[in-house]
Amino acid sequence: MGQIKINNSVLYILTIYFIQMNQSKFTVSIINVVIACLLILLFIFVLYHIFGNKLIITDPDPPQLDYFESLIPPEKKPVIVFDYDQTLVDDHGKLFPQIEEIILFLKEDGHTLAIASYNHNAEKYIERHNLHHHFTAFEAFWHPKVTKRQHLEKLSQKLGVECAEMILFDDLWSNINETKHITGLSVLVSPETGVTRNDVLKALKKYSKTE
């Protein structure tokens, strides 16, 4: 427990408060409201020092994928295509926190998974993360004339499904803009968080409404 320091001005105000009380001249005034607020803050401050990290107000739990019942019938499940860098992994090549859960959920929900990346090593890297076996197809190469749309068209040939039966998750707006007219859905994700549960749930719900 840290040492609680109360500055002189707070003590001064508290002194005035108690003098007022003793003289029975207490009236509801702005200064009393201010003093009451200070006392509340002081109380919270003391509680914080007593309970430390236990006194943390957190956001409500994010939606859990386990409880999501997909509205898309099995025969219409879209292929889920992920970009690799800044979509599945961060700048250091580390998987974003929710990726494993998302991949397992999507597989269990009956989706085919694929990767479309400009990173030549995406397939090798996903193997290092022990997730390779969840993916059915890869298009991972870069060339100045090759676009994300071409990646998707190649995946379409490999998998025997239309691009319109795919949902793409990618962190680059240019890729989303280029593919949104041929995919069932192209979803822009934040390069700071990669794909999140929210992104996936929103995308599946939106896709189910367009079917």
Chain positions contacting Mg ion, by CB under 5 A: 83, 85-86, 171
Q: Work out how close the CB of 144 gets to Mg ion at its nearest, in angstroms, rounded to a whole number.
A: 17
Nearer to Mg ion, 111 or 151 (CB): 151
Give me the least distance between CB of 46 and Mg ion, in Å please: 48
CB of 203 to Mg ion, least distance (A): 17
* Nearer of residues 86 and 98 to Mg ion, judged by Cβ: 86
CA distance 19 to 178: 73
Sign, Cα dihedral of 59, 80, 194, 130: positive
Q: How far is the CB of 119 from Mg ion (least distance, A)?
A: 8
- CA–CA gap between residue 149 and residue 163 (Å, rounded): 9
Tokens of 163: 């691009």
Q: Of the two residues 171 and 178, which places its CB atom closer to Mg ion in the complex?
A: 171
Q: Smaller CB distance to Mg ion: residue 123 or 171?
A: 171
Task: Note whether 10 and 41 are within 8 A (CB).
Answer: no
The two most distant CA atoms of the chain are separated, in Å, by: 89
Confirm if 211 and 76 have CB atoms less than 8 A apart.
yes
Question: What is the tally of helices (H) and strands (E) in the chain?
Answer: 7, 5
Q: Which is nearer to Mg ion, 139 or 171 (CB)?
A: 171
Q: How far is the CB of 169 from Mg ion (least distance, A)?
A: 10
